[in-house]
Structure 1
Amino acid sequence: MKKLIFNNKTYALALLVVAATGCKKDFTNPNETPSDVVFKNPITAASAAVGIQRTYTAGQASTFFAAIDANGLTTNELILLNPGNVGENQFSKGGINVDGTNNVLTNIWTNGNKMIFDANNVIRYGEQTTDKPYGAGLISYASIFKALALGNLSMFWEKVPDTIGTIGTPVTFIDRMDGYKKAIRVLDNAIVAYEANNPNATVIGRLTAGVANNGMINALYALKARYALFSGDYDAALAAAEKVDLSKKVVLDFNAQVMNPVYESATSNTNFFQPIDSTLGLPEAIAPEKTDGRILFHTRIKTPQESNPRFRINGFYAALNTAIPVYTPGEIMLIKAEAYARKATPDLGQALIELNKVVTKKPAGDIYGVGADLPALGAMAKNDLLVQIYRNRCIELYMSGMKLEDLRRFEDVLDETLVTRKRNFMPYPFTEKDNNPNTPNDPPF
């Protein structure tokens, strides 16, 4: 395996650097404090934790931007404005045009593995420190981002790495559903640590305010609910969702030095992508009602001074310092609705109640101002109810990076004309194939 050595100030807080090669990892950066020193020091251990968030959110190469980019173009949420962006052009064309050279997929893959590696070190320090409340904060914070990394890998690929390997020991792969289950185990471990020893003010003050200040426990339960739903454990999804305090914001903060990655690369210019139109990428039969207040939350109409396209990015990507939620109240309501509808013994009445909380929600009644403000839906058959849950997930969670996963999960109840995607699973990056003989074969579509 090749060794990657660089000096990049934007990753000064990230103590370890992932090689852009296979999962036989050699993390070397001679310009930073050695990890055996870092993880004996509580201040630098917290800085390493913050570095994981930077890997997830900082710039066009970040996991977060790449996931919005790949998902949005593949599922028709977005339109490509400049075909000179090769990776994006592959998604826009879809099918076999998406291959292992795709730089956007490589960013998700490489950053995801880096996040997992760095999180493992932070979690290990948190478990070993004698200051248990401090350690609980580190474990909880790092576990949020480790779970997000595992979740993103599992959303895009059929198989995901089982662990982070060492030189000479290429990793093996597990099914993506096991990837979600691994994320849930990470979250469960963090929940136990958090509830046994509530993080103290010292560690919270050294982590990013948006994630740490309102109780990381809410993000841990919200992500557990998300990945339990994705893996088909509906009782666990419901139990976790019930634990989330919907009045608390857990967000990724930005400023002029570290900008909102979608704003920086897409909202602020017309070089990458913009919303497709007011349908938000949904076919006419299930497109948003014209009076749906969420259309003008997620999008805006261009000003007379601006060039085409007519519809522009808004909402959580409107400005350089707009915070991005780790989860939203609407997502939690829709997780409950779907889980009630899909349980072994469905509770369609309760599913409809949860769905209507989203359908009737006014912007003023949502902590982020997201509200459809529509009349409540009436009783309906199970499949029709699931279609409405899918429809509202696509609208409520527009540009959240989850639509591709939703399409797979709801395909059994959607008419074929409503299944709009250009690929189902992604090919493995050549950087992995070239260095790991265990890399699975690419899916046909």
Structure 2
Amino acid sequence: MKRYINNYSRSIMAGILLFAASSCKKDYTDPSGPSTDNAFNTPNALTDVAVGLQNWYTANRTGNVYTKIAAASLLTGETYVVNAGNTDENQLYLGGTNVQNTNTIVTGLWTVSNKIIFDANNVLSHVDAVVADKSYASGLIAYTSIWKALAIGDMAEFWEQIPDTTGTNVPFITNTAGYAKAIAIINNALAAISANAVSSTFTKNIPAGIDLQNTLYALKARYALFAGDYTTALAAANAVTLSTTSTYNYNALTTNPIFTLVTSTNNIYQVTDSTMSLPAGLRPDTDDKRYPFYVTISSSPRFRIKGFYNAVSQAIPVYLPGEITLIKAECYARQHDVANGLIELNKVVTKTASQDAFGVGAGLQPVVAATESELLDLIYKHRRIELFMGGLALEDERRFGRPTTERKRSYFPYPFVERNDNTNTPTDPSF
């Protein structure tokens, strides 16, 4: 029986309120749902829970897709708040100490990420005992691991330290250790699908859009880069097939959250201006075709969101081919190989829309960099343009050592839903 992500959408808003209110107990089970024994005792039941992870991640204002894109774009100036009555988004736009521990975007990203990790742990711990078909099991492990790795990676992008696991009074680890934990989860999944190819029976039971193997390698490359493990990041990036897409798919019932809440209403936030939030010297070239891909010109406001947030059922990429190529460029640059780094960078700079699986193409002439420092500046510039409003800008600003004046905060404060129950919760960062 095919399972669709819509099956879970009706309860998401109620669910996030429930979990946010009760998360001090670190009990992420739904009291109105089936018992743990019933939820994890058959392959179909495990698959249902795994598909639920995708919906938690992608659903409307409560899911990580919305919260991380809103947070990263507002904190780095890619977007600004149109209506200050949207208190939580406005706190992020103002930045600094205005971002409160009770902010619903901060709390939502934290709570939903922990919910995903909790449920993913339950699925993964039951697979061997419940699923006899190894090819079905490998697909379930891979699919579940993607959401768990994303949830851990998202927390590591926005918090200086993250919980080592879910539970009561758990210890914290650095965000770099969090990236390493996500990579370990991905490695386990890659080993599973290498040992037993994923069966078509499994892929028919999950929503279309996610390419399991390429997504695992892409996320491994991303998080290894963020952790400073350039050898691992480069090898993983080289394993990604750039012509294969992986997307969060939407439809008339489960809609693209940025379009539904932001683009179509023009009531929460919008693109700031034509600079794409970059300082002088790093701004888009006049002929850069990615600017009109991501930004449309209107009368009021003049600059409006476009890109992957322009229609109710438009799919959102899990990663872009350009991100993978730019990971290669950065890995070479940080290992002092300017020549190969420049070759990879120019693949993105000169790429046309027709050469890209998602139609993202700058169409520019090759750039030149004489030094490692110059190359890294250009890689940063083209990451920010190529991956505009992709939720990665805050990590990029920190990693490239950009001035703090170019962002509103470096890390989130820790939500009270964690601090009130966990004595190990670190002190809030000052910025």
Fold match (TM-score > 0.5): yes
In 2: Cα distance, 1:103 partner to 1:434 partner = 16
Whether the 8 Å CA contact 2:209–2:247 is kept in 1: the answer is yes
SS in 2 for 1:60: helix
CA deviations over 1:177-200 (Å, ceiling 9, x no partner): 100000000000000001111111
CA contact (8 A) 2:9 2:254 kept: no
Identify which of 309, 331, 334 aligns with 1:342: 334
Q: How far apart in 2 are the matches of 1:379 and 1:282?
A: 19
Q: 1:395 aligns with which of 364, 385, 388?
A: 385
Structure 2 equivalent of residue 328 of structure 1: 320
Consecutive unaligned residues of structure 1, counting only runs of 5 or more, are 1-6
Where in structure 2 are the equivalents of 1:199-278 lying within 5 Å? Answer: 199-211=198-210, 215-278=211-274
What's the counterpart of residue 398 of structure 2? 408
Please give the per-residue CA displacement for 1:392-424, whole angstroms capped at 9, x wherever unaligned: 00000000111110011101xx5x4x9510111
Q: How far is the alpha carbon of 1:23 from its aligned partner?
A: 6.0
Q: Write the deviation string for residues 34-91 of structure 1: whole angstroms up to 9, x where unpaired.
A: 2211211211211111110111110111111011111111100001101111111111
Shift in Å at residue 311 of structure 1?
Answer: 1.2
Q: 350, 357, 362: which is aligned to 2:352?
A: 362
Distance 1:44 1:267 in 2: 36
**RMSD of the TM alignment (CA)?**
1.7
Q: Give 1:28 deviation, angstroms.
A: 3.7
Q: How does 1:109-124 map to 2 (within 5 A)?
A: 109-124=110-125
Specify which of 162, 165, 169 is matched with residue 163 of structure 1.
165
Structure-2 residue corresponding to 1:108: 109
The secondary structure found in structure 1 opposite 2:388 is coil
Q: Using the TM superposition, give the Cα deviation of residue 33 of structure 1 relative to its aligned residue in structure 2, in angstroms.
A: 1.9
Counterpart Cα distance in 2 of 1:121 and 1:207: 18
Identity over the aligned pairs, expressed in percent?
48
How far residue 117 of structure 1 moved from its aligned partner, in angstroms, is 0.7
The question of 1:9 aligning with 2:10 is answered: yes
Q: Residue in 1 aligned with 2:139? A: 137
Query: 2: distance between equivalents of 1:98 and 1:8?
Result: 29
Runs of 5+ unmatched residues, structure 2: 1-7
**Could you tell me which residue of structure 2 aligns to residue 436 of structure 1?**
422
Q: Which residue of 1 aligns with 2:186?
A: 187
Deviations 1:235-285 (A, max 9, x none): 000000010011111111000100011111101111111111221111122
- Asked if 2 retains the 8 angstrom alpha-carbon contact of 1:49 and 1:119, the reply is yes
Distance 1:257 1:10, change over 3 A: farther
Cα distance between partner residues in 1 of 2:348 and 2:291: 14
Deviation at 1:157, TM superposition (A): 0.5
8 Å CA contact 2:221, 2:327 repeated in 1: yes
Check conservation: 2:12, 2:62, Cα contact below 8 A.
no
Deviation at 1:11, TM superposition (A): 4.2
Aligned residues: 420
Q: Determine the structure 1 residue equivalent to 2:3.
A: none
Residue 310 of structure 1 aligns with which residue?
302
Corresponding position of 1:386 = 376
Mean Cα deviation higher: 391-400 or 93-102:
93-102
Tell me the distance in 2 between the aligned counterparts of 1:266 and 1:424: 24
Shift of 1:126: 2.7
Deviations 1:288-311 (A, max 9, x none): 012100001111112x6xxx2111
- 1:177-224 C-alpha deviation (Å, 9 max, x unpaired): 10000000000000000111111111100111101xxx4110000000
Residue of structure 1 in register with 2:5 after alignment: none
8 Å CA contact 1:140, 1:193 repeated in 2: yes
User: Residue 4 of structure 2 aligns with which residue?
Assistant: none
SS at 1:317's partner residue?
A: coil
The answer as to 2:58 corresponding to 1:66 is: no
Q: Which letter maps to 1:216? A: L
Please say if residues 329 and 341 of structure 2, whose CA atoms lie closer than 8 Å, have aligned partners that are also in contact.
Answer: yes
